């Protein structure tokens, strides 16, 4: 088969590799649509120690079943499916407590085993979820990032009734968090980003107002947009020193700051301000199986769609897509790669 292989930092190539063979408890899937995740951009740059080249990345995808291992009887050839790429052991303390996303030995398709930047991918049957045949494959491929966003936004808003929400970052996760916040009853959703074209798209597709921190003071501008009730929830989908500091400076006393962006590891924060203002600071990583199934349902019901804020490129242009993403040349929040003969 043909696959887009990450061979070294900032290097990718279309290569011919052996077709994967499903184990007895696996499903072989022909990929139709796959999204590029922000974490894969960090991997492409060599900033993510979990990803080691050569590697076929790709964990946000939709496709059709080609074959099943001998112990798999829940799926049929030709059936449209999406995949929860997170594999957990089921027996460690985190798994026993109902937190499989925190499994001590978790494995992820596209990181610890070949992913969907290829024509075929073999995955554990336990992660495969059937979807309706008529759902758009690119929409269905949003299941994984939507599950991440759904979990983070639910937890961020849990203590607040109809809050004003600020989302920092107008990439794929930021757009999806904003969409989920609206579905969960946020009064007003504001998105902050320094990319003017992304802000225009965000305003048209995901939120009530936007602010550009490069042109305005973010805490002041967000407060003015929110009105006298201020901002009770901030979701940082970027994860850098300025965005994390701005989140704490913007959120109301007693508010919640949710960190989902993995931009940098260490950050200096004003902890005394956090203490004296009783600000709740949370982190969110991946999702539970229930979050994933809920995300699939939202997409199936068209309550969240890909329309207006995504774009599609052929797999053969995948390396160029990564170069454009790292160079800040992409205005849309998500790039999908369409499988082809490469």
Q: Is residue 197 included in any domain, yes or no?
A: yes
pLDDT surpasses 80 at 189 = yes
What tens digit of pLDDT does each residue of 214-253 get? 999 999 999 999 999 999 999 999 999 999 999 999 999 9
Kindly state whether residues 12 and 138 are assigned to the same domain. yes
Q: In which domain, by residue range, is 275 found?
A: 146-283
Calculate the average pLDDT of the chain: 96
Q: Give the list of residues 6+ apart from residue 134 with CB closer than 8 angstroms, or none.
A: none
Q: What pLDDT band is residue 21 in, cutting at 50, 70 and 90?
A: very high
Q: Over 60: is that where the pLDDT of 264 sits? A: yes
Residues 169, 279 within the same domain: yes
pTM reported for the whole predicted model: 0.96
Total domains in the chain come to 2
Q: What is the CATH classification number for the domain harbouring 262?
A: 3.40.50.720
* Together in a domain, 134 and 255: no
Does residue 226 sit in helix, strand or coil? Answer: helix
81 shares a domain with 27:
yes
The enclosing domain of 83 has a CATH number of 3.90.180.10
pLDDT at 49: 80
Could you tell me the pLDDT band of residue 342, with boundaries at 50, 70 and 90? low
**135 and 11 belong to one structural domain:** yes
Decide if 83 is inside a domain.
Answer: yes
Q: Does residue 271 carry a pLDDT above 70?
A: yes
pLDDT grade for 265, boundaries at 50, 70 and 90: confident
Q: Does residue 298 sit within a domain?
A: no
Cα–Cα dist 91/111, whole Å: 22
Provide the token pair at 167.
């989302």
What residues does 337 pair with on adjacent strands? Answer: 34, 313
In a domain, 199, yes or no: yes
Residues 111 and 189 in one domain: no
Q: What is the pLDDT of residue 340?
A: 75
Residue 162: pLDDT above 60?
Answer: yes
Residues 70 and 114 in one domain: yes
The token pair at 126 is 């336990």
Q: Which of 59-73, 107-121, 255-269 has the lowest mean pLDDT?
A: 255-269
Alpha-carbon span 177 to 51, nearest angstrom: 25
% of the chain beyond a pLDDT of 90:
95
**Residue 152 is assigned to a structural domain of this protein:** yes
Q: Do residues 124 and 188 both lie within one domain?
A: no
- H-type alpha helices, 46-166: 93-96, 137-140, 143-157
Is residue 297 a part of any domain in this protein?
no
End-to-end CA distance of the chain: 10
Does 118 fall in a domain? yes
pLDDT of residue 48: 79
């Amino acid at each position: 088969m043909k696959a887009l292989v990450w061979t070294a930092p900032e290097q990718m190539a279309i290569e011919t590799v052996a077709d994967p063979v499903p184990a007895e408890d696996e499903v072989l899937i022909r990929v139709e649509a796959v999204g590029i995740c922000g974490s894969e951009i960090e991997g492409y740059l060599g900033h993510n120690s979990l990803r080691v080249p050569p590697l076929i990345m790709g964990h946000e995808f939709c496709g059709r079943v080609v074959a099943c291992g001998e112990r798999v009887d829940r799926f049929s050839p030709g059936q449209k499916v999406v995949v929860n790429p997170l594999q957990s052991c089921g027996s460690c303390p985190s798994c026993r407590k109902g937190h499989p996303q925190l499994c001590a030995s978790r494995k992820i398709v596209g990181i610890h085993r070949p992913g969907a930047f290829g024509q075929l991918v073999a995955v554990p049957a336990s992660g495969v979820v059937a979807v309706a045949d008529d759902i758009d494959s690119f929409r269905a491929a949003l299941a994984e990032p939507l599950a991440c966003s759904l979990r983070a936004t639910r937890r961020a808003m849990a203590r607040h009734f109809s809050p004003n929400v600020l989302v920092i970052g107008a990439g794929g996760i930021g757009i999806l968090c904003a969409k989920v916040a609206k579905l969960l009853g946020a009064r007003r959703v504001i998105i902050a980003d320094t990319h003017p074209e992304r802000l225009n798209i965000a305003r048209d597709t995901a939120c009530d107002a936007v602010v550009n921190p490069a042109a305005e003071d973010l805490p002041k501008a967000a407060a003015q947009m929110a009105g006298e009730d201020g901002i009770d929830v901030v979701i940082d989908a970027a994860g850098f020193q300025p965005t994390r500091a701005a989140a704490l400076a913007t959120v109301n006393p007693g508010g919640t700051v949710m960190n989902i962006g993995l931009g940098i590891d260490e950050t200096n924060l004003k902890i005394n301000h956090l203490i004296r203002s009783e600000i709740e600071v949370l982190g969110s990583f991946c999702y539970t199986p229930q979050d994933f199934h809920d995300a699939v349902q939202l997409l199936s019901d068209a309550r969240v769609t890909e329309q207006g804020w995504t774009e599609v490129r052929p797999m053969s242009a995948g390396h160029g897509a990564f170069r454009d993403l790292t160079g800040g040349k992409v205005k849309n929040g998500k790039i999908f790669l369409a499988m082809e003969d490469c």
